[in-house]
Amino acid sequence: PVLVVDFGAQYAQLIARRVREARVYSEIVPSTTPVAEMLAKKPKAIILSGGPSSVYEEGAPRLDDARALFEAGIPVFGMCYGFQLMATTLGGTVDNTGAREYGRTAMRVSKAGSTLFEGTPVEQSVWMSHGDACSAAPEGFAVTASTDLVPVAAFENDEKKLYGVQYHPEVMHSTHGQLVLEHFLYRGAGIEPSWTTGNVIEEQVEAIRAQVGTKRAICGLSGGVDSAVAAALVQKAIGSQLTCVYVDHGLMRKGETEQVEKDFVAATGVQLKVVDAQERFLSALAGVSDPETKRKIIGREFIRVFEQAQAEIVAEGAADGEDVAFLVQGTLYPDIVESGGGTGTANIKSHHNVGGLPEDLEFELVEPLRQLFKDEVRMVGQELGLPAEIVQRQPFPGPGLGIRIVGEVTQERLELLREADAIAREELTAAGLDAEIWQCPVVLLADVRSVGVQGDGRTYGHPIVLRPVSSEDAMTADWTRMPYDVLARISTRITNEVRDVNRVVLDVTSKPPGTIEWE
Ligand code: XMP
């Protein structure tokens, strides 16, 4: 494998994903892994990630034997923090100059024909995020790029196959980042690209079989892409040992329950159990407006329903003596990061299937997609033969409309939001915008009222927010510049057709600073 050494924050997963994009197999190891253990894996190459620390900081993550890693004859690529670690270990100079660069930075390539920068322009835009700067490369290294503030923004020692860049080639904003990474893998390390999403399926099928054995599992199916792909993958691994459970929590959009029953079962032939839990969720949510509390309640109630389903499956005798011990979830990597589960990351919001799980969870979790990003999950789904209607669906959060009503969730408000959402979806589809828009949450500001005039009278109603966003993986997003005439049609229809709504507003915030959902 190619090893990606994780020095913290969100970078390592993104690097691993870019390596997969280059069709090379990679594994992430924490930086606390002894170097001898890393080398024992016989890696074809090693990538050192960035991280939030300065190399000079007390407690900054270090390798137990960095020198051994650089002298093992294995190609190494250091990025940001990894670059500085390479520089300091091998005798270069890194100073705390106070010269900070954050965000988009202009970089000049100073060595045409370098291994990493071959075929990229002299002037390029890269994504920086650092306080320290390398002022002298180690002996034997050629300086290959610089910026206004940083004399050594990249270096390489082709003979020893050691490469480093101060910036983050893995982020989208570094214009030639993917090419630079591929140059390292193909030219620097001599690796042939051969890895595919088919490999993910094989690996996961094997891992699921090893984990579940002859026991039974249930899979919470939400109608979304992630749980559908997870279910199909697990079904491939353990077949009839799996039962899918669809919880109708009453927070679904119009037509959603019927669609799951029809499309998913038709596509996979999976055993499906539908549980009507509308009252249960509504009464648990009564009187609650705080977003995190709502998320935790929904996460907990999901599990309680799964437990009940488990008991029923056992009682029905479907379980040939084996208890249902496993719960399959379509958790993705971004869900884990945002719920504060990455290394050293903050809790932004508790995704219902991660931070929203109750503490007394009795199931063992099976999460075959937890290393992947959404677009990769879509590729896996396609490879598994799921139809486009499922695989290309826009994301919809597990807690559903419950986190799209700002304020308390009530039956009446849900009905109102369901109508508004159905109109928006209908018009977006009619305008052919489904593929272009990542997703378009429709949000009801239930605690806000404004004055309007409808017919000949005054109204005092609620606003509906349209939140169309474009994104690659939901980690960052921008608001979609949608045609005005489509916005106008949605606005007219919602205010005409949905009672108690007298205003439609457009959310023009990117992520960050906003998140995609309002709660
Ligand atoms: P945010 O609002 O964090 O959303 O920018 C990022 C993506 O995740 C979806 N989302 C969720 N999905 N359970 C889910 O299954 C959740 O609790 C949850 N919260 C947000 C959101 O729709 C967007 O695609």
- Whether 351 is a known active-site residue: answer no
What is the per-residue pLDDT for 114?
A: 94
Atom 21, ligand 1: residue with shortest CA distance: 397
- Whether 170 is a known active-site residue: answer yes
Structure tokens at 191: 């690796």
Q: If you search the block for the tokens 């459970």, which residue do you land on? A: 245
What is the per-residue pLDDT for 140?
A: 96
Please, is 119 exposed, middle or buried when counting C-beta atoms within 10 Å of its C-beta (0-12, 13-18, 19+)?
Answer: exposed
Question: Does the structure show a pLDDT above 90 at 15?
Answer: yes
Phi and psi dihedrals of 168, rounded to 5? Answer: -105, 95
What's the 144 CA to ligand 1 centre distance in angstroms?
41
Read off the pLDDT of each residue in 169-178 and give the average, rounded to a whole number: 89
d(CA 405, CA 368): 31
What is the per-residue pLDDT for 131?
A: 79
The 10s digit of each residue's pLDDT in 417-445 is 999 999 999 999 999 999 999 999 999 99
Q: If you search the block for the tokens 């190494």, which residue do you land on? A: 76
Annotated binding-site residue? 225: yes
Question: Ligand 1: which of 10, 247, 251, 351 to mutate, judged by most atoms within 8 Å of the beta carbon?
Answer: 351
- Helix, strand, coil distribution of the chain in percent, nearest 5: 35, 20, 45
Classified as helix, coil or strand, 395 is: coil
Torsion (CA) 507, 508, 512, 518 in degrees, nearest 10 = 0
Q: How would you classify residue 108: left for phi > 0, otherwise alpha for psi between -120 and 50, otherwise beta?
A: beta
Q: Is 91 in contact with 136 (CB distance < 8 Å)?
A: no
d(CA 379, CA 392): 10
Question: Does the structure show a pLDDT above 80 at 191?
Answer: yes
The 10s digit of each residue's pLDDT in 357-414 is 888 888 999 999 988 889 899 999 999 999 998 999 999 999 999 999 999 999 999 9
Phi and psi dihedrals of 292, rounded to 5? Answer: -65, -40
The 10s digit of each residue's pLDDT in 243-291 is 999 999 999 999 988 888 888 888 888 889 999 999 999 999 999 999 9
Q: Which atom of ligand 1 is nearest to the CA of 438?
A: 24
Q: Is the peptide bond before 368 cis (omega within 30 degrees of 0)?
A: no
Question: Does the structure show a pLDDT above 80 at 454?
Answer: yes
Query: Which has the closest alpha carbon to 256: 237, 280, 274, 242?
Result: 274
Type of residue found at 12: A
Structure tokens at 120: 């990229």
Structure tokens at 160: 């020893």
Report which of residues 505 and 96 the model is more confident about: 505
Q: Is any atom of ligand 1 closer than 6 Å to the C-beta of 61?
A: no
Q: How would you classify residue 83: left for phi > 0, otherwise alpha for psi between -120 and 50, otherwise beta?
A: alpha
What is the per-residue pLDDT for 144?
A: 97
d(CA 335, CA 346): 12
Active-site annotation holder among 101, 170, 307, 517: 170
What is the per-residue pLDDT for 145?
A: 97
Q: Is 193 in contact with 186 (CB distance < 8 Å)?
A: yes
d(CA 248, CA 510): 32
Structure tokens at 272: 């499906």
Question: Does the structure show a pLDDT above 80 at 9?
Answer: no
What is the per-residue pLDDT for 344?
A: 52
The secondary structure of residue 263, as a DSSP letter, is: I
Q: Is 427 in contact with 417 (CB distance < 8 Å)?
A: no
What is the per-residue pLDDT for 251?
A: 97
Q: Is any atom of ligand 1 closer than 6 Å to the C-beta of 517?
A: yes
- One-character DSSP codes across 126-195: EEEEES-EEEEPPTTPEEEEE-SS-S-SEEEETTTTEEEESS-TTSTTSTTHHHHHHIIIIIIS-PPP--
Q: Where are the beta strands (DSSP E) in 49-100?
A: 76-79, 93-95
Read off the pLDDT of each residue in 108-116 and give the average, rounded to a whole number: 88
Q: Give Cα separations from 118 to 115, 167, 188 (angstroms).
A: 6, 17, 11
Question: Does the structure show a pLDDT above 60 at 318?
Answer: no
Query: Which has the closest alpha carbon to 304: 275, 336, 330?
Result: 275
pLDDT bracket for residue 46 (50, 70, 90): very high
d(CA 259, CA 424): 18
Question: Does the structure show a pLDDT above 70 at 320?
Answer: no
Length of the chain: 519
Q: Which atom of ligand 1 is nearest to the CA of 299?
A: 17
Question: Does the structure show a pLDDT above 70 at 517?
Answer: yes
Structure tokens at 73: 């004859």
Q: Is 106 in contact with 145 (CB distance < 8 Å)?
A: no
Label residues 77-94 b or e (16+ Cβ within 10 Å = b): bbbbbbbbbbbbbbebeb
Domains, in order of start, for the chain: 2-188 (3.40.50.880), 197-391 (3.40.50.620), 410-506 (3.30.300.10)
Q: Average pLDDT of the chain?
A: 91
pLDDT bracket for residue 124 (50, 70, 90): very high
Question: Does the structure show a pLDDT above 60 at 321?
Answer: no
What is the per-residue pLDDT for 269?
A: 84
Contacts of 273 by beta carbon, 8 Å cutoff, 6+ apart? 243, 244, 245, 246, 309, 312, 313
Annotated binding-site residue? 228: yes
Q: Is 51 in contact with 9 (CB distance < 8 Å)?
A: yes
